[in-house]
Amino acid sequence: MAPRSGVPSRSFVVSRAFGPLIILSLMWRGVTRNGALAGMLTGAAVVAVWGHYGWLGLYEMVPGFIASTAAIVIFSKIGKGPSEEMIERFDAAHEEYLASHGK
């Protein structure tokens, strides 16, 4: 749980910044390096600032998760897409997952 006095700890901020990236990189083959970096930085910044000011009485993980997800999608879409090699690796891992789960 987040410390409620002042700015959240670094480990708290970092752990919240990686959540959307992990989920999206497992579920969407369009995640790029720039999208990943933008999502981590945006998520960490929103969690740190929101935790410090406590706007709307809303738990900082919610806006941090939303902002990080949006940054990953936006920056992955506006930049150069993933390389063919990365798409092939994603597809191979996805096929392996489906095969191992009988789908």
Model-level pTM?
0.80
Cα-atom radius of gyration of the chain, to the nearest Å? 16
Task: Quick: pLDDT tens for 42-58.
Answer: 998 998 888 788 788 78
Cα–Cα distances in Å, from 21 out to 4, 7, 54, 60, 99?
Answer: 25, 23, 24, 17, 25
Q: What pLDDT is stored for residue 5 in this prediction? A: 53
The Cα 79–Cα 3 span in angstroms is 36
The Cα 51–Cα 14 span in angstroms is 13
Q: What pLDDT is stored for residue 91 in this prediction? A: 95
Task: Quick: pLDDT tens for 55-87.
Answer: 887 888 888 999 999 999 999 999 899 999 999
Task: Quick: pLDDT tens for 2-41.
Answer: 445 555 566 666 666 788 999 999 999 999 999 999 999 9
